[in-house]
Each structure stands twice: as C-alpha cells, then as structure tokens.
C-alpha cells in the first residue's frame, strides 16, 4: 500500500480511490475504523490499518459488516470520528443497524463508505446501494474523481456533525480500484479523547442513542435532509462544464463523470453538449438541477446501475410549477444506457452520438474488419479457476468422488468466497446453489428437513473459515436446534483469501498486526454437540472416506473441517515449494492412455498442461505450485512428486 | 445386434442404468473413472471418449457367443444345455483341511492349489469373506491364501476389478475363479486382447462356477446386518430344493430364512443371463444335488482336462461318474435358465430380433423358444 | 523534456493474472506523476490472482484526469506480457497506429485448445503499426528468475522511445517501491530490455 499517511501536504500522489478515501478519513482526523473485507472496498481498511499504530488511531477487521458499523457507531457515540467501509452486500448485512441509527443521530462524525460492484465482477449480485439513501433518508455523496474521493470523505465528517446524522459515500470499482492524481492535504495533529456523554440535550434522563420515539425522530430526519439539501445547492462537488445553452445536457455522477467528459471530447461536441456533474446525490440539489434543466431541450442521465438520479429528477419535476420546461429525457429508461451491468466510455460515446445523430468510428473500418476476422481459436478464454496448489481443488475433487460413490444424487450448497468457483469447472461443477455469506448452511437447513416429503439426497453445505465467523454460526445452531440433516464442510485455509488474505478471528492476528486469542472453529463446533472431523484435503483418500461417512449419517448437522493453508499464503511465507513435480514422458501415455486426459481435462489445474506437440501432459514450471496432488490422479503413475 | 464399441456414457445408459449390470467388475479399474463401491459401479468423472474398453469387454454389451466360443473353446457355440463339454464328473478333495473349509467338495480350492504347486500359475484371483461378511476379491499367491477363498458367498462381487489392477508389464501367470458373467467378460478379452493392460494371455486357468443368480450387495447386506449378529457368522449356504432356505451358520448354530424372503435381493441383471454353468471356462464347478460334500465338474478344455488328470493321478481329488439322474437334472435346470432368460430379454427389448447384448444363431434361438 | 506524442496517451498492459501487470503500471504511472502529468490507471481485479485475463489501462495527459477505461479502438501502445492476451487486447483496442511490444511466452488456458505462437504472432503483426516480439521470459530465466520478464518488458518500452520518460525516472520509481537488495537485479533486467529493443 502506498503510504496514505505521508505527511507532505500539497504533493501529488498516485492513489487508488480506496486509498484516497482512506487519506480523506485521515485528514478528517478519524480515531476509529472498522470494516469487513469485500471487493471493491477492502483497501480502505487495509491502508488505514497499515498506518493506524503510527498515527495513533484504531482500525479493525470486524467479524461482519453489521458489527463493523455498530462498533464504529460506538466510537462515534463516545466523541471519536469513525468510519466503516464495506461492499454493497456489507451494507445489506448492516442495514438493520443503519435503519435504526438514522433515527437517533450520532456523536462525532460517522461515515459509512459503500463500494458497489457493477456487473458483480467480484460479487454474487449486482445492486445500486444509493437506493438506501432514499429508503432510509441518508445524505449520500458520490465521488467522480480520485481527488474528489479524498476531499469528499474529509468533508463528510464535517457534514455528518453539522447535520447530526450518519453520511454515506458511495463508490464503485472504477473509482475504488483505479488510480489517479491526488493532491494531499494537511494531516491534523490532535489528541483523541473518548467519553460517552450520559446527558441528553432534550431530556436529561432519556438517552439520545435510541430510535425512539420513531415517528417524531423520522420527522426530525426530514428536517435534517432539508438542511442537507440547502448545503448541497452550493456544494463545490457539483459543477457544470459546457456552453451556456446546450443542445444536450448530460447529468452524471461518480465514475460516469470521466466517461461523459471523454465522450463529449471524443465526439468534438464541447460547444454543443454540457455536463452537469453531481457529487451530492441525496438529497438532490433541486434548485441547481432545475436551473440546468431549463437550458437544454434534451437530457441524458448517465449513472452506474440503477436510474437513481434519473427517476428522482423526474419525480422532482412533477412538483415544479406547470409552466416549467419539460425536456426530453434519455438514459436507462429510454434504453440509451444499460440499466444493468457496468458502464464504460464506449457506451456513453455511443449514447451521445445516437442522441446527437452523428456517426462515430473509433478506428478505420478496414482495421475493424481485420480485427473481427481473427479466428476465435487464436484467443481461447481463460476460465476462472483455483490457483495452482489450492486446497479447494483437492477438497472438491474429494467431494465429487464421495457424492458419486454415495450414489444418492447428493449436492453442495455454498456461498461467496474463493470456493464459489466450484460452481464451474474449477470445482468440477459441485456447488449447486451459491448466494450471500452463510447462505450455503442456511439453504442446507431447509433441505435437511424435507425427509418427510421423500427427500433423501445428501446435502453438503460449504463455507470458508472467515465466512463461518461472519454468518454461518447461526445457521449451524439452527441446524442443531431444529435437527436438520446436512453436513457442513468448513474450508479452513486460514485466511479471508478471495479479498486478499486478510486475517479473521480464526487466524490469531488482527488488522493492525497484533497477535490475539484464536477462536478455534473445532472447539466452537464441539460446544454445539455436533460431530466434528478434521481432514487435510491433500490426503484425498482419507478426505473422501470421511466425507462418505459423514453423508451416510442421519440426524442433525455434522461438521467436516478441511484444514490446509491457502497455497499463496504458504508460498509467501515459506518461499519454497512442498515438492518437486514433473511428468515422466516415458510413463505418460498421452491420448493412448484412454483416461481421456484425466489430468488436464477433468482435474484442470493451471500448472498441469497438455503439450500438444509431444502429445503428453506436462508441468508448467512457472505456474505450478508443486503441491503434489496431481501425482495421485494419474493412472499410469506418470506424475512424479519428490519431497524437497 | 449392433457390434459397435461405444463409450462409458453408453455403458451407463445401456447397461448400468437399465438393470443389466451384473457387477462382474470388467469395467471397474480399467480406467480411473470407473470403480466399484458397495455393490454398484460408479463413474467418477464424465469421460467424453466415444469408444472404450469399459464398453468393449462388458459381458452385457454386443457379445457374439459363437465368435467367442470358437476363439476360447475352438468350437462353435453349442446348443447343448451345458455348452461345450469334454467330460462331466463328480469330484471331491482328499485333503481334510480343504474339506473342512469347503462349501461342497472343495474341488476349486484343490485345483487351484495344485495349479500353484505345479507352477501353472503364480497366483489366483478369488473371493473371500471379509469381516463384514461381504465378499471381497483378492489376489492369492500362496496355498494358505487360496484356502481363504474357500466357501460360497452368494453375493455379486466385482472380481475382475482385481485383474484390471495388475500392472501392465506383469509376467505373473494367473488363475481366476469366476461367475458365468465374469467368465464371459474374460472370454471377450481373450477374443480381442486389451491394449495397454496386463497381457490377457497371462490368464492361464479359468475356473467357472455354477450360478442360478447372485444377490445384490446393496440391499442384502443391510438385511444380514439387521437380522444376524454378523461377527458370529461363519458361513452361508443355500441347500438344494426342495429346502427353499437360506442358511447362516454362526458360532452358536444355524439360522434359516425362507428363500422367498431373500429372492427380492436377487440382482435384476441375473434375469437376463443365459449361462448357468460358466460355459467358457476351462473347468466349471458346482454342487451335486442330494449328495453332500461333492462337486459336479464339467471339463471343457485341454488345460482343464490335464489339470483334472493330474489332480486324480496325484491323489488330490477323488473322482467319480456323475449319476445319470443328476446329469439329467443339471441339464434340465440349465436349459430352463436359458429359456427363461431369452424370454425375459425379448420381453425387455420388445423385439425378437433385438436380443439386447447377445448374439445367437437363429437355430439356437428357435430351439430355446420352442 | 520530452513531450507526449498524443494527449491523452493510452497505454494498455495485457497479461494473465499473477504476471505482474499491476506492478508495471504503477512503476510507469508514478514516473509520470513525478513529472507533473495527470495519470489514471484502471485495472481488472478479481481475476488477477486466479489465472484470468487481466489488463491495465494507463491514461497519461498534461491537460486533465481521464477515465480509467480506454475506449475501444483507442490504444496507442500495447505492452503484452502474453501473446494471446496481446492479441485479445489488439482486437478490441487496437487501431492502425498502435505500437505493440509483446512477450513471446505462451501461458496456457486450462482445458482449452491453445494456438501456436506463429499464428498468434502473425495476427499480432497484422494489427500493429509497429511490433517488437521479445523473448522476455527466456531472457529472464537466463538472469535467474522468470519474474524478471516484467522489468525486461519495461526496459523495452522505455528503450523504444515511444514514452517520454527515461531510465532515471524508472530507477527512481523502483527505488521507492522495490526493496534495496532487489534494485540491482531489477535494473539489470531493465537494461537487458533496453538492449533487446535496440537489437530487434
């Protein structure tokens, strides 16, 4: 992580959006940060945690996002500025607390950063979390540049205190993970002093920090938002570029600001098309918008995921005097911009060109033709697969074999993590349901109660070790309490791997690098009275046998823990491989083996490739992690592993 | 009959999923995808090959009985009830040890021990009763191990899986004790030797067993488990009609079950089997109805004949003529199985011209249906 | 000081996850920021660790910040760490003026039929105004570790003269990000890259 704590105000750094947000929080003088790893938000906490000790504030990986927001709120109540960061699903998990805290108000500035993942590139679902602002009455800001990500975050704490309510910053992947110029500001040098004030300004015996009485507080919340709207009308985060009167006005926000700017420039329409870029998204700065609406007959709204601005601007227009201008709207509702999936500059260029009725060619037609003629066989698709040496590959191979041997059409329910790739060829298509954190065990609970309707298929729920702490424990307890018949497979690779190997309660290390007590998964399961087996997935025979035994049983849930460290974590630490692996070309029979290339087609590890010229399997030494599992797969014993 | 060799997908759809699979084990272990497990054949991965040895040597896919008979026995497929025979005898072991362990006369154990002693084979593939009283196939390399194989198991066991696991460069000569379906699979292999596997020519001796039907490990083991104290079981026996019993001998005595209660565990595949006496073996061995402690022995090849002669000469076996009523009865039973099976095959296929897996001469079909 | 041949200058680094495209983009990006340019870098994350196709988009401008996504058909320079990825990027982002530098080492896609290098190289040539095909991985192996391929490719990029930054800029960037003991080895690889591009 580039040093977000650099004490060099006025200099320009190349920060990713997440680092810029973290820097903004530092410049606002936070004392507390809490988060749960989630792409594309993870680097916010990672960079904060990396400087927390040096800069005398506290940062933690919480067990889940609800606890993260609640603990940040705790700090806020005691007068410490606090930030909580999460991806869109995290906001869902934290939403109950969020819906409550908007009622009560806060202590010191409290800011929630939500990073959406359009197209769900690294998520289970796609959703536009800005809707939460309208749903729960929360002021929401959306940065359009990397500089703004920092400046907005810094300001958000002041705003939160001015309004006495939590504020949300919404980012997306293309801001969060992209890098750009950020000019640094001053780092405050102040001492944090924490104290929970037991005196309520309204009635001394009543506390402030309750959402009660709700209806009255709800009305107060509306007053707060009216005040926010006032502030937003003159905010420097909203601006207009373009002619005084424009043929087309693009209203945009967030990552789409730079796309729109580039679209207008590429099409040479600077004199005809104006862009109103909003940074204060909710409540809408109505007067500002109204002023610009009157200057253009055509409006194109460009934003990521939902027609949030689009729909709300149209709603706003309904309240305007009847004589007000009624421009033609283009956007998601008209089909000019996709109402799903991630946007990119090409779409905005295309929509603008279409509306302005001009043709645009990004490159000469003959080049495009030549490019289109390249056979698709020259560019095979790379499927997402487990890393070479990943214990999940071995686990799902054992699961596949166990389920087939069992023969009752068993299947796996799962959720989100590296192991989600088991829905595809990487995990031999074993995972048959995949939803949010903890959903695997949740869904299994239901299935495990269907015996009375003739259900007898073995159900295996899988979850990761971090996921176990985040959301699976209640589902396991439910299974014990309601006597549901399923097997929970906990993939314990000692990391929150998918998001970048962050520590969690089972690893014994905190976000700030301190050792702490390990919460032992086995002990926890034992305390529930469930049968627990621990396997090393690299021991395929024993793992398969243990799984077979577990799924053959009946009664409440049982747990099988697959314990082996994530290969990337191990390799980084130990710097040498487990084995030396190679294929003996004399033993490998190639196509003649009759095994239908079991090693390369069925097992699909990227380190084991098919050498077309030799007609045999081969280890790709650059990719292979030397875990040695494939040696057990070859029927000819042609894959040799030697201990190093 | 379609003589095209197909792949594992068709093995599933034409044999395993249609109730034709006898669990002979010819496919199991022929590649890493196919294994046997608790009385079933399991395909662990999806193989996309359109042709495979799993399909080729399965005794329930395109089997030309006449071609096989000519290759293995040097004679056309016989219309005789007992198939090609040189001699039909009755025999029993002279060894008290063997007799003590034997189901009937101990002939199979004696023959194998002799073959091992004389260096005709280096090992034999047999089944023995495992601790949970289910049969398990193994490779015996000593007289002591061969003795472990004595006794009948009544449950289907994928014996040929053991053969498939023998390394391809092995030079060990093998004997195999097999059921009729397994003998048929072996014969298909002898007819068209498998590539990249142990040389089938190393199988020097095939001892076939008489078989009316076999019980499915799947359901039957559960039945035994529920009705018996399994650790105390010593052996099983189905005495000849009219006893109509399944007997379990335990350390505290005999427990009998009505045979009708056991019939529901018969492998569905046995309904479609035409061979009661292992017609392609070197020697076929069974019981003698009504005469305890003796075996019926059918000698079919020179290998079989030479071995029987040696056994008699060395005093290992006591040999007698099989009483005519027994021979007649045996022929009747064997013919009945053929007729019934053919009828069932035609009922299943719905077409007299489609005999599912088996190719027979028209004259033979006519005779059996008459 | 050299100036940009075009504003913004659009550079795409294409490769397979885990090859180090992020490191390269950062090194180059920082060198430009130090010289007062606006730099935007867009990355494909998620697929990165897990052998997926990845690309880094670099926008370099004197005038303003640009979006992290280069529009289709608007790449000026393509630095490829793997030939098939280079071709994939050219198909979408190339144009008649694009300059291509690519590693020659194929990285196989699991379970898929892979094309031969000759075919791929020919197709790359047909879509590039200028092309350098560099055996970066082999040269890196000679230097002791295939991971040096990255520095070799950066060397070729700088050595080609198509970017207005020089060796010293890169060395400064490296000093910031690379551990002391690795600096010399990295600069050796970098020099090798400069040498290779002047040869070819």
Same-domain check for residues A617 and A567: no
Task: List Cβ neighbours of C30 (8 Å cut-off, separation of 6 or more).
Answer: A14, C173, C176, C177
C40:A179 CB<8 A:
yes
Chain A residues 440-459 with a CB less than 8 Å from chain B: none
Q: Is A405 on the interface with B (CB under 8 A)?
A: yes
Same-domain check for residues B259 and B290: no
Distance CA A28, CA A109 (A): 9
Q: Running DSSP on this structure, what letter comes out for residue B215?
A: B
CATH classification of the domain holding B231: 3.10.450
Which residue stretches of chain B have pLDDT < 50? none
Q: Residue A209: CA atoms inside 13 Å, Cβ hemisphere, count?
A: 17
A594:B48 CB<8 A:
no
Q: pTM of this prediction? A: 0.91
**Residue A188 pLDDT more than 80?**
yes
Considering the domain boundaries, does residue A384 fall inside one?
Answer: no
Nearest to A636 by CA among B37, B202, B195, B31: B31
Considering the domain boundaries, does residue B257 fall inside one?
Answer: yes
Contacts of C94 in chain A (CB under 8 A): 363, 367, 371
Considering the domain boundaries, does residue A478 fall inside one?
Answer: yes
The average pLDDT across A103-109 equals 96
Same-domain check for residues B255 and B291: no
- Kindly report the nearest CA distance between residue A383 and chain C, in angstroms: 6
Sign of torsion over alpha carbons A94, A97, A103, A107: negative
Report the CATH superfamily, name and number, of domain C9-199: Pyruvate-ferredoxin oxidoreductase, PFOR, domain III (3.40.920.10)
Range with lowest mean pLDDT among A202-206, A611-615, B264-268, B331-335: A202-206
The average pLDDT across A417-436 equals 91
Give pLDDT, residue A1.
37
> Is the N-terminal amide bond of A283 cis, ω within 30° of 0?
yes
The two structure tokens encoding residue A434: 């995949």
- Kindly report the nearest CA distance between residue A148 and chain C, in angstroms: 12
CATH classification of the domain holding A410: 3.40.50.970
C123:A178 CB<8 A:
no
Sign of torsion over alpha carbons C94, C95, C101, C103: positive
Same-domain check for residues A250 and A291: yes
Q: What is the DSSP code string of A227-290?
A: HHHHHHHT-TT-EEES-SS-SEEEEEETTHHHHHHHHHHHTT-TTTEEEEEESEEES--HHHHH
Q: Residue B368: CA atoms inside 13 Å, Cβ hemisphere, count?
A: 26
- Kindly report the nearest CA distance between residue A323 and chain C, in angstroms: 38
Phi, psi of B3 (to 5 degrees): -90, 5
What would the 3-class secondary structure string for A497-530 be? CCCCCECCCCCCECCCCCECCCCCHHHHHHHCCC
pLDDT in tens, B52-76: 999 999 999 999 999 999 999 999 9
Distance CA C53, CA C82 (A): 10
The average pLDDT across A451-475 equals 96
Contacts of C68 in chain A (CB under 8 A): 174, 178-180, 255, 258
Considering the domain boundaries, does residue B3 fall inside one?
Answer: no
Q: Running DSSP on this structure, what letter comes out for residue A496?
A: B
Chains B and A touch (3+ CB pairs under 8 A): yes
Looking at the predicted complex, does its ipTM rise above 0.85? yes
The average pLDDT across A421-438 equals 92
- Please name the residue of chain B whose CA is at the shortest distance from the CA of residue A588: B196
Sign of torsion over alpha carbons A60, A65, A70, A76: positive
Domain closes at, from A233, A255, A276:
A233
- Please name the residue of chain A whose CA is at the shortest distance from the CA of residue B29: A635
Among A39, A363, A609, the residue with its CB nearest the CB of C45 is A39
Surface-to-core class of residue A109, CB atoms within 10 Å of its CB (0-12 exposed, 13-18 middle, 19+ buried): buried
Say if residues B308 and B317 touch (Cβ distance below 8 Å): yes
- Please name the residue of chain B whose CA is at the shortest distance from the CA of residue A428: B45
**Residue A233 pLDDT more than 90?**
yes
Distance CA A422, CA B231 (A): 42
Q: Running DSSP on this structure, what letter comes out for residue B2?
A: -
The average pLDDT across A320-325 equals 83
Measure the CA dihedral A160/A161/A163/A167, to 10°.
Answer: 10
Sign of torsion over alpha carbons A209, A213, A218, A223: negative
What would the 3-class secondary structure string for C15-45 be? EECCCCHHHHHHHHHHHHHHCCCEEEEEECC
> Exposure string (b/e) for A555-569, b if CB count within 10 Å is 16 or more?
ebbbbbbbbbbbbbe
Give the range of the structural domain holding residue B167, as residue numbers without chain letter.
8-216+266-369
Distance CA B1, CA A637 (A): 38
Domain closes at, from A206, A233, A260:
A233
Per this entry, what is the length of chain C?
Answer: 200
- Kindly report the nearest CA distance between residue A490 and chain B, in angstroms: 23
Same-domain check for residues A441 and A499: yes
Same-domain check for residues B123 and B181: yes
Q: C114: pLDDT confidence band, cut at 50, 70 and 90?
A: confident
Give the range of the structural domain holding residue A631, as residue numbers without chain letter.
576-643
Block residue for tokens 């002693």? B117
The average pLDDT across A11-22 equals 97
Same-domain check for residues A171 and A252: no
Same-domain check for residues B256 and B179: no
Say if residues B238 and B154 touch (Cβ distance below 8 Å): yes
The two structure tokens encoding residue A9: 């105000």
- Kindly report the nearest CA distance between residue A365 and chain C, in angstroms: 10
Task: List Cβ neighbours of A487 (8 Å cut-off, separation of 6 or more).
Answer: A458, A459, A460, A461, A547, A550, A551, A557, A558, A559, A560
Domain count, chain B: 2
- Please name the residue of chain C whose CA is at the shortest distance from the CA of residue A121: C46
Give the SS3 label for residue B41.
strand
Same-domain check for residues A421 and A279: no
pLDDT in tens, B121-139: 999 999 999 888 899 999 9
Same-domain check for residues A90 and A202: yes
Q: What is the DSSP code string of A532-573?
A: EEEE-TT-HHHHHHHHHHHHH--SS-EEEEEE---HHHHHHH
CA A215 vs CA A212, A220, A224, C52: distances in Å: 8, 9, 14, 51
Same-domain check for residues A455 and A539: yes
Say if residues A75 and A83 touch (Cβ distance below 8 Å): no
Task: List Cβ neighbours of A362 (8 Å cut-off, separation of 6 or more).
Answer: A346, A349, C71, C72, C73, C74, C95
Block residue for tokens 């105000």? A9
Considering the domain boundaries, does residue B2 fall inside one?
Answer: no
Give the SS3 label for residue C78.
strand
Say if residues A374 and C84 touch (Cβ distance below 8 Å): no
Same-domain check for residues A434 and A534: yes
Contacts of A418 in chain C (CB under 8 A): 50
Contacts of A589 in chain B (CB under 8 A): 196
Domain closes at, from B230, B245, B265:
B265
Distance CA B199, CA A642 (A): 31
Residue B327: count of CB within 10 angstroms of its CB: 16
Q: Name the neighbours of C, counting chains with at least 3 Cβ pairs within 8 A.
A: A
CB pairs under 8 A between A and C: 175
CA A556 vs CA A414, A433, A559, B57: distances in Å: 18, 21, 10, 44
Domain closes at, from B265, B291, B326:
B265
Q: Name the neighbours of B, counting chains with at least 3 Cβ pairs within 8 A.
A: A
Give pLDDT, residue C45.
63
Distance CA B149, CA B202 (A): 21
Tell me the residue ranges of DSSP E strands in A295-350: 298-302, 328-330
Considering the domain boundaries, does residue A375 fall inside one?
Answer: no
CATH classification of the domain holding A277: 3.40.50.920
Domain count, chain A: 4
Contacts of C16 in chain A (CB under 8 A): 382
Nearest to A628 by CA among A579, A560, A588, A591: A579
Same-domain check for residues A178 and A259: no
Q: Running DSSP on this structure, what letter comes out for residue B15?
A: I
Considering the domain boundaries, does residue A385 fall inside one?
Answer: no
Same-domain check for residues A338 and A206: no
Same-domain check for residues A418 and A491: yes
Domain closes at, from A233, A262, A281:
A233
A598:B42 CB<8 A:
no
Surface-to-core class of residue B321, CB atoms within 10 Å of its CB (0-12 exposed, 13-18 middle, 19+ buried): exposed
Among C47, C96, C110, the residue with its CB nearest the CB of A604 is C110
- Please name the residue of chain A whose CA is at the shortest distance from the CA of residue C147: A622
**Residue C200 pLDDT more than 60?**
no
Phi, psi of C76 (to 5 degrees): -100, -40
Contacts of A594 in chain B (CB under 8 A): 31, 49, 52-53, 196
Domain closes at, from B231, B265, B299:
B265
Say if residues A113 and A120 touch (Cβ distance below 8 Å): no
Same-domain check for residues B270 and B260: no
Say if residues A623 and A600 touch (Cβ distance below 8 Å): no
B42:A405 CB<8 A:
yes
Give the SS3 label for residue A4.
coil
Considering the domain boundaries, does residue A362 fall inside one?
Answer: no
Block residue for tokens 């936070």? A30
- Kindly report the nearest CA distance between residue C193 and chain A, in angstroms: 20
**Residue A201 pLDDT more than 80?**
no
What stretches of C73-112 show up as alpha helix (H) in DSSP? 83-93
A598:B32 CB<8 A:
yes
Chain C residues 100-159 with a CB less than 8 Å from chain A: 107-115, 119-120, 123, 126-127, 137, 146
Chains C and B touch (3+ CB pairs under 8 A): no
Distance CA A60, CA B107 (A): 78
Phi, psi of A329 (to 5 degrees): -100, 135
Greater pLDDT, A494 or B280: B280
The average pLDDT across A528-556 equals 95
Same-domain check for residues A105 and A247: no
Contacts of C115 in chain A (CB under 8 A): 377-380
Task: List Cβ neighbours of C24 (8 Å cut-off, separation of 6 or more).
Answer: C13, C56, C79, C150, C153, C154
Longest dimension (CA), chain A: 87
Task: List Cβ neighbours of B353 (8 Å cut-off, separation of 6 or more).
Answer: none
Contacts of A405 in chain B (CB under 8 A): 35, 37-38, 42, 44
Chain A residues 357-386 with a CB less than 8 Å from chain C: 362-364, 367-368, 370-372, 374, 377-386
CA A338 vs CA A2, A212, A305, A346: distances in Å: 35, 41, 8, 12
Greater pLDDT, A586 or C86: C86
Distance CA A20, CA A15 (A): 6
Q: Is A595 on the interface with B (CB under 8 A)?
A: yes
Distance CA C197, CA C57 (A): 22
Instruction: Give the DSSP H or E segment for C59.
Output: strand C53-61
Give pLDDT, residue C47.
55
- Please name the residue of chain A whose CA is at the shortest distance from the CA of residue C30: A14
Nearest to B237 by CA among B103, B338, B333: B103
Say if residues B189 and B54 touch (Cβ distance below 8 Å): no
- Please name the residue of chain B whose CA is at the shortest distance from the CA of residue A404: B44
Q: Where are the domains of chain C?
A: 9-199
């Amino acid at each position: 992580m580039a040093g977000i704590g650099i004490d060099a105000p006025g200099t320009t750094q190349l920060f990713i959006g997440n680092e810029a947000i973290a820097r903004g929080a530092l410049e606002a003088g936070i004392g507390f940060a809490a988060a749960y790893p989630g792409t594309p938000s993870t680097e916010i906490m990672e960079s904060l945690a990396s400087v927390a000790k040096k800069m005398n504030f506290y940062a933690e990986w919480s067990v889940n996002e609800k606890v993260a927001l609640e603990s940040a709120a705790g700090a806020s109540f005691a007068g410490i500025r606090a930030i909580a960061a999460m991806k869109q699903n995290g906001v869902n998990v934290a939403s109950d607390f969020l819906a409550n805290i908007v009622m009560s108000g806060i202590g010191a500035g409290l800011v929630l950063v939500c990073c959406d993942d359009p197209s769900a590139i690294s998520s289970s679902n796609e959703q536009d979390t800005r809707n939460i602002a309208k749903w729960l009455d929360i002021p929401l800001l959306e940065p359009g540049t990397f500089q703004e990500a920092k400046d907005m975050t810094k300001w958000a704490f002041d705003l939160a205190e001015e309004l006495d309510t939590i504020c949300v910053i919404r980012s997306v992947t293309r801001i969060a993970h992209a890098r750009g110029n950020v000019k640094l500001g001053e780092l405050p040098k102040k001492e944090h002093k924490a104290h929970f004030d037991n005196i309520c300004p309204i009635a001394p015996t009543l506390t402030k920090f309750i959402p009660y009485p709700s209806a009255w507080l709800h009305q107060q919340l509306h007053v707060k938002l009216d005040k926010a709207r006032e502030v937003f009308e003159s905010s420097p985060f909203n601006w207009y570029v373009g002619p005084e009167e424009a043929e087309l006005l693009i209203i945009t926000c967030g990552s789409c600001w730079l796309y729109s700017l580039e679209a207008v420039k590429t099409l040479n329409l600077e004199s005809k098309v104006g862009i109103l870029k909003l940074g204060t998204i909710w409540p809408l700065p109505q007067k500002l918008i109204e002023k610009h609406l009157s200057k253009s007959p055509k409006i194109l709204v460009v934003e990521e995921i939902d027609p949030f601005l689009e729909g709300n601007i149209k709603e706003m227009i309904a309240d305007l005097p009847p004589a007000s201008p009624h421009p033609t709207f283009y956007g998601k509702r008209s089909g000019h911009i996709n109402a799903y999936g991630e946007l990119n500059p090409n779409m905005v260029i295309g929509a603008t060109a279409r509306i302005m009725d001009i043709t645009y060619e990004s490159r000469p037609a003959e080049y495009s033709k030549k490019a289109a003629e390249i056979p698709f066989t020259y560019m095979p698709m790379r499927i997402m697969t487990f890393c070479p040496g990943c214990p999940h590959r071995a686990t799902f191979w054992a699961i596949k074999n166990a389920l087939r041997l069992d023969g009752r059409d068993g299947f796996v329910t799962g959720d989100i993590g590296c192991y989600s790739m088991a829905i595809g060829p990487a995990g031999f298509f074993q995972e048959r349901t995949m939803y949010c954190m903890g959903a695997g065990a949740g869904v299994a609970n239901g299935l495990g109660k269907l015996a009375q309707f003739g259900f007898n298929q073995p159900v295996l729920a899988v979850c990761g070790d971090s996921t176990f702490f985040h959301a699976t424990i209640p589902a396991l307890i439910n299974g014990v309490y309601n006597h549901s018949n399923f097997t929970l497979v906990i993939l314990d690779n000692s990391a929150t791997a998918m998001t970048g190997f962050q520590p969690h309660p089972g690893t014994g290390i905190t976000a700030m690098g301190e050792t702490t007590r390990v919460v032992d998964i086995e002990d926890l399961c034992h305390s529930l009275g469930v049968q627990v087996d621990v396997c090393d997935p690299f021991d395929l025979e024993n793992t398969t046998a243990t799984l077979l035994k577990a799924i053959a049983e009946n009664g409440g849930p049982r747990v099988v823990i697959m314990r082996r460290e994530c290969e990337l974590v191990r390799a980084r630490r130990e710097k040498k491989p487990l084995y030396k692996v190679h294929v003996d070309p004399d033993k490998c029979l190639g196509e003649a083996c009759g095994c239908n290339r079991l090693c390369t087609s069925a097992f699909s590890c990227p380190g084991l490739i098919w050498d077309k010229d030799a007609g045999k399997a081969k280890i790709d030494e650059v990719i292979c992690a030397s875990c040695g599992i494939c040696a057990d797969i070859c029927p000819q014993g042609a894959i040799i592993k030697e201990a190093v | 009959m379609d003589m095209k060799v197909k792949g594992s997908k068709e093995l599933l759809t034409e044999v395993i999923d249609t109730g034709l699979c006898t669990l002979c084990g010819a496919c199991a272990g022929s590649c890493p995808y196919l294994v046997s497990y608790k009385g079933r054949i399991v395909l662990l991965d999806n193989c996309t090959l359109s042709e495979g040895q799993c399909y080729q040597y399965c005794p329930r896919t395109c089997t030309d009985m006449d071609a096989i008979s000519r290759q293995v026995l040097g004679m056309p497929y016989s219309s005789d009830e007992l198939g090609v025979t040189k001699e039909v005898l009755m025999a029993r072991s002279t060894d008290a040890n063997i007799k003590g362990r034997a189901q009937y006369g101990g002939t199979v154990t004696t023959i194998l021990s002799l073959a091992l002693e004389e260096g005709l084979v280096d090992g034999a593939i047999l089944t023995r009763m495992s601790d949970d009283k289910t049969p398990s196939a193994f490779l015996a390399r000593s007289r002591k191990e061969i003795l472990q194989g004595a006794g009948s198991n009544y449950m289907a066991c994928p014996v040929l899986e053991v053969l498939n696991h023998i390394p391809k460069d092995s030079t060990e000569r093998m004997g195999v004790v097999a059921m009729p379906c397994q003998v048929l699979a072996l014969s298909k292999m002898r007819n068209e030797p498998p590539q990249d596997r142990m040389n089938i020519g190393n199988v020097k001796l095939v001892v076939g067993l008489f078989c009316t039907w076999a019980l499915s490990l799947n359901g039957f083991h559960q039945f035994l488990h529920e009705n018996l104290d399994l650790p105390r079981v010593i052996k099983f026996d189905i005495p000849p009609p009219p006893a109509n019993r399944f007997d379990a001998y335990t350390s505290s005595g005999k427990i009998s079950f009505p045979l009708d209660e056991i019939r529901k565990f018969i492998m569905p595949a046995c309904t479609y089997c035409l061979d009661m006496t292992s017609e392609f073996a070197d020697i076929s061995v069974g019981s003698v109805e009504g005469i305890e402690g003796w075996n019926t022995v059918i000698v079919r090849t020179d290998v079989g004949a030479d071995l029987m002669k040696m056994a008699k000469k060395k005093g290992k076996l006591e040999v007698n003529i099989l009483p005519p009523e027994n021979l007649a009865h045996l022929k009747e039973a064997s013919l009945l199985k053929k007729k019934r099976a053919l009828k069932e095959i035609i009922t299943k296929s719905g077409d007299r011209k489609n005999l599912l897996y088996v190719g027979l001469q028209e004259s033979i079909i006519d005779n059996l249906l008459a | 000081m050299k100036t940009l041949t075009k504003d913004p200058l659009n550079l795409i680094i294409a490769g397979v996850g885990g090859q180090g495209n992020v490191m390269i983009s950062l090194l180059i990006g920082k060198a430009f920021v130090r010289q007062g340019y606006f730099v935007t870098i867009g990355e494909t994350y998620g697929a990165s660790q897990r052998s997926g196709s990845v690309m880094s988009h670099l926008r370099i401008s004197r005038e303003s910040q640009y979006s992290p996504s280069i529009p289709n058909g608007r790449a000026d320079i393509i630095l490829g760490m793997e030939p098939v990825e280079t071709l994939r990027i050219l198909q979408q982002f190339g144009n008649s003026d694009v300059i291509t530098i690519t590693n020659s080492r194929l990285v196989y896609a699991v379970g898929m039929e892979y094309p031969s290098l000759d075919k791929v190289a020919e197709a790359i040539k047909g879509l590039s105004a200028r092309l350098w095909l560099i055996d970066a991985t082999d040269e890196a192996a000679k230097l002791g570790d295939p991971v040096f391929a990255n520095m070799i490719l950066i060397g070729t990029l700088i050595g080609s003269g198509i970017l207005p930054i020089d060796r010293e800029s890169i060395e400064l960037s490296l000093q910031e990000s690379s551990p002391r003991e690795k600096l010399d080895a990295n600069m050796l690889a970098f020099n090798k890259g400069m040498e290779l591009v002047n040869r070819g």
